[in-house]
Amino acid sequence: MKIIVCIKQVPDTQKVKVDDKTGVLIRDGIDTKMNPFDLYALETAMKIKEQINAEITVITMGPPSAKEVIKEAYALGADSGYLLTDRKFAGADVLATSFTLAQGITAIGGYDLIICGKQTTDGDTAQVGPAIAEHLAIPHVSWVVKIKDVCDKSITFMEDMLDDIAIAKMNYPCLITVDKDVFQPRLPSYRLKQQAETKTINILTLEDLAQKDSEHYGLSGSPTQVEKIFEPTSEHEVERFEQDDKNNAKLLYQKLKELKYVKELS
């Protein structure tokens, strides 16, 4: 079977600041790494491959330097990797990103199962995976917490459904997003890491995709616009309750009510 794992290169730190004057994001250093949640997606693919004959392809969208994240995936055991990179892909939101990835996945050729991490650590949306499935008109299930069974026709798994846990089955082609409980990710192998350096990284640009109209990609294809970014006001002032115990208890009760942790008794 053919498994596609969607991965993303993210900054190695969440320590970011906003330049007051320009409103531009300043990242502390330029170290990048694979989105930690993608490690679980890749591990799921590897575990499936241990059970049945499977070929694992990773795909990512990003700048040319995002090749590094594909090398990381190679060091973990991915068989082939594709980088979607084009200036026209820049500035993409959930809709345009998922569209581009769906186009890329189609361009690679056939697939049975697509696996995504539950979310990224830079965007935190958790919404690109389901959106890819919609573009591809295939079913998806998010927040898969356990793989129960896998064969060459279908996958059976446990999913988190708010208050319930469900066991469900989907035939291929389909997409799942996996939560971090699904498997413990392995460490990169030294041997694979060595090989990764020389392994081919396939590049896809707009020219390689079926939909060639640039209006669908990047900023043009994004219905949402970031109007501004700012640092949250760190209003860390300590409010002190220093009355007698009785009044402190009252003040605390009022505060919990205000914060909606206790209900108004009527």
Partner 1 sequence: MSGIVIDHNKCIKCLACIKACPFNALSLENDKIEVNAACRLCKVCIGVCPTQAISLQDVIKKVIDKNLYQGILVYVEHTDGNIHPVTYELIGKALELAKKIDQQVYCLFIGENIKEKANVLLEYGVAKVLVYDHLDLRYFRVDNYANVFESAIKKLMPNTVLVGATTTGRSLAPRVAVRFKTGLTADTTILQMRENTDLVQIRPAFGGNIMAQILTTKTRPQFATVRYKVMDAPQKVTNVTGSIEIGVVNESMLKSKIELLEVKRKEATFEISEAEVIVVAGNGVKDEKGLKLVSELAELLDGVVGMTRPMIEKGTGSYLQQIGLSGRSVKPKLIITCGVSGAIQFVAGMDKSDTIIAINSDPNAPIFKTAHYAVVSDLYEVLPLLIKQIKGEIINEL
Give the whole-angstrom CA distance, residue 145 versus residue 24. Answer: 37
Helices 128-136 and 94-108, interaxial angle, to 10°?
50
Smallest gap from residue 79 Cβ to partner 1 (A): 27
Smallest gap from residue 28 Cβ to partner 1 (A): 10
For the chain, report the end-to-end CA distance as a whole number of angstroms.
61
Smallest gap from residue 123 Cβ to partner 1 (A): 6
Q: Which residue number, 194 or 249, has a Cβ lying nearer to partner 1? A: 249
The answer to whether 83 and 105 are in contact (CB under 8 A) is no
Tokens of 127: 């919404």
What number of CA atoms fall less than 13 Å from residue 230's CA on the CB side? 5
Q: Which residue number, 50 or 265, has a Cβ lying nearer to partner 1? A: 265
Tokens of 106: 């189609």
Smallest gap from residue 41 Cβ to partner 1 (A): 16
φ, ψ of residue 22 to 5 degrees: the values are: -95, -15
Residues ≥6 apart with Cβ < 8 Å to 38: 5, 6, 7, 8, 116, 117, 120
Q: Which residue number, 74 or 99, has a Cβ lying nearer to partner 1? A: 99
E strand segments, 104-211 = 113-117, 140-150, 154-161, 164-171, 174-178, 202-204
Q: Which residue number, 65 or 125, has a Cβ lying nearer to partner 1? A: 125
Smallest gap from residue 71 Cβ to partner 1 (A): 24
Q: Which residue number, 76 or 159, has a Cβ lying nearer to partner 1? A: 159
Q: Which residue number, 60 or 98, has a Cβ lying nearer to partner 1? A: 98
Q: Specify the residue for token string 């505060």.
A: 255
Smallest gap from residue 83 Cβ to partner 1 (A): 21
